[in-house]
Structure 1
């Protein structure tokens, strides 16, 4: 691999991969290698307790927001801790405003509950997507139209809306406040408190210094398994370097564009578009074409995606940010010069949160695996239903065991780090699936705290009953 030019791999849409982008890796780093060595002794000290609660949700992203609301709806006293200044995680601060499919291939909405409630809180101008009458439609022209607008796959129109991130931040915040959840922003959970094999709280850092937040049940919604891994919970880290779902980047948005003009060009001038993308790669060395947003004058970029870097390495994280900001400027200049509808484009926003797709995955009581996709089996401990990756497969039953650590007590996991194999992770990490697993984990955590039992001992039937009260879609084993 040349030090002067990145190694680029184009990932095309397929049955199991529904994103299209260049993935690249480069041996070049902006800063020289660090030269630290040895250790420094940190003196022992007593840490003041900030608060005690029934359920502590660590991480206020999609899964964490859903978990906090679901736990509060069981009557539990709930705290959600978030290191940024907003809720929503990658769906807001990460500008992953395209919310992936929540319908099956017949147009039935299977990810509901929190997903419905949060989207219904947004004003009409904050949501872009096909009308419900079109979900499941297989008309070629309609599918082509909505595919360009990220809401049709495999020739089928789906419910995969694009949302205004600022409206989503506000709606998420207000939902939790109305439910009585205590929100703690600008705080980073550093170390779990573990007693007799159970997580009983976390030590966190903020501008107030180091404090502890104690809870009967902790829900790890960090996305990277920071809490369960540091508490001694088992996990997996295997990834596919060439898989778009296991790469990183910082998303960005360009404003002052005319997306209708761009989409007309992309959808009607195939040869010209192919030449355009070829020129982009030749000029930039890597390339990402835009996605639609919730507005015609704002374009969304979720790449180029970078492989060979770890979201658990601070130097790699820094490198991704440096490169991504450079990508934004280079893409803006290229699009202004060559892309129809982008002549007046300007750099609106680079995401405050880095776009991490994979780090750790929990080793749970059970897991979601690729060899389960075809069966359509309803798991006995089902707590949610996910759309499948293609019409070839039925919907997927999400088991409670995928949220429960194999041995560690006092904790549940929700979001992109649940127990699953690397292939299944490609879609179980998406925002609707994070809403689904977050709501399930929150409901279970609330039930466990209220009953004074370990999370692993909560009856899945009780979790399903609580989820149904909250509008979620779950089934019973043996039903179809």
Structure 2
């Protein structure tokens, strides 16, 4: 039994990367835990599964980019993933809308791995505006692409939707071609730390408990599981009232006609508003669909649920239970009431939980809200992120945001890089995870090859390597207009 949901609407403003509603409802009532005390694990020898130069823990967007970048430096690379695929939330989490990769002038600024992997998808595996209109401010074009999640602030951008199965396969083949060892269905449990440096991890799989040793470990778990358990500092503060700390399980409905739906949404504003009101009244929570890469598939990335922790097993179980109920309720409602959804059916709920925030690394450098207006390349820039609105220039991402303040042998990439709570709202997005993963992998490969700690990697060599691999990295002090 659950309480009546309370709905709190969060409005978009210029400093928010995404807008959404956060839904808070009464908790699913679990049977009370009755565990007390402790048990003692028997001391045992753990067999070593493999030794490598670079171990990437987590095969999501950041981890896939990191593994490829490290392998292309000549390092021997292993990527460990708990699921049966690469891509993380961009595939298994069905977050198939890839957020903005262009600046407000239409320039592609998140490049490198991100550009390459999308270019390798076949035409039928992605949907978005042609390159010729990126940055265009035409009102009609902006309205058209706004409904298709590729125009913001009246400007057409590159923010495609993709086929998750194509992205899984493409990512996998890119790593195999580069010589990476992929280890699926394996969960890193305990980091191996010696004299203040991470030397590898102990992991669990169907083979039992084994160790994987590496010269450098890249934590791409998204939650900082490796660096937190290894003793690195981290932050957990959040921006109250924003969506970037909420959770959900995404889902897709099939058998729809999205063009019919978009025509209704764009041309019948009063009827669309009435549908939203009816949805809230009947369901207590409500979200309208996003487009996908196909006209006959609708994407739902919510409802976003707040007040729950992605580090608590009961909380994440609760999110899954509620999300599956949300999926059925939305399918039934849309089939009955929404144009284009008359034949809709439940196609897929994401096998991966959509987590936005748990921990953020306490790094040697940091991305902060106060830096957004500068637009100047930091001395250790390893990439550039689009800004949240046209009033800001692009944001310089420093290498220090990937480096722990007091732990060696490890780099962190993905949504848990070092940044403040406000900047995390965009640094957690898939393109930014590709960006930081690419940089961390290149740095890890260089560190392993040179026999130095990641914090001592030569920045000029790293930047040159990233540029050679197609990333967009500016010269120190170089500026860009908003």
1:459 is aligned to 2:450: no
1:279-326 deviations in Å (ceiling 9; x for gaps): 000000000100000000000000010000000000000000000000
Q: Distance in 2 between matches of 1:233 and 1:397?
A: 24
SS class of match (2:191): strand
* 2:75 and 2:445 in contact (8 A); partners too: yes
1:139-197 deviations in Å (ceiling 9; x for gaps): 11110100000000011000000000000000000000000000000000000000000
SS class of match (1:423): coil
The aligned counterpart of 2:212 is 213
After superposition, residues 253-402 of structure 1 pair within 5 angstroms as 253-402=252-401
Structure 1's unaligned 5+ residue stretches are: none
The aligned counterpart of 2:189 is 190
SS class of match (2:423): helix
1:49-95 deviations in Å (ceiling 9; x for gaps): 00000000000000000000000000000000000000000000000
RMSD: 1.0
Q: Deviation of residue 377 (structure 1)? A: 2.1
Q: Deviation of residue 241 (structure 1)? A: 4.1
1:231-278 deviations in Å (ceiling 9; x for gaps): 000000111342111100000000000000000010111111111001
Q: Figure out how many residues of one structure are paired with residues of the other and give that number.
A: 479
SS class of match (1:388): coil
The aligned counterpart of 1:413 is 412
Structure 2's unaligned 5+ residue stretches are: none
Q: Deviation of residue 121 (structure 1)? A: 1.2
* 1:21 and 1:287 in contact (8 A); partners too: no
Q: Distance in 1 between matches of 2:359 and 2:471?
A: 27
SS class of match (1:422): coil
After superposition, residues 6-405 of structure 1 pair within 5 angstroms as 6-405=5-404
* 2:384 and 2:394 in contact (8 A); partners too: yes
Q: Distance in 2 between matches of 1:347 and 1:367?
A: 42
1:192-217 deviations in Å (ceiling 9; x for gaps): 00000000000000000000000000
Q: Distance in 1 between matches of 2:21 and 2:280?
A: 9
* 2:2 and 2:28 in contact (8 A); partners too: no
Q: TM-score, normalised by structure 2?
A: 0.98
Q: Distance in 1 between matches of 2:242 and 2:20?
A: 10
Q: TM-score, normalised by structure 1?
A: 0.99
Q: Deviation of residue 456 (structure 1)? A: 0.1
Q: Deviation of residue 18 (structure 1)? A: 4.1
* 1:241 and 1:308 in contact (8 A); partners too: no
Q: Deviation of residue 25 (structure 1)? A: 1.5
Larger deviation: 320-329 or 34-43?
34-43
Q: Distance in 1 between matches of 2:192 and 2:149?
A: 43
* 1:242 and 1:307 in contact (8 A); partners too: no
Q: Deviation of residue 16 (structure 1)? A: 2.1
Q: Deviation of residue 19 (structure 1)? A: 3.1
Q: Distance in 1 between matches of 2:410 and 2:267?
A: 52
Q: Deviation of residue 337 (structure 1)? A: 0.5
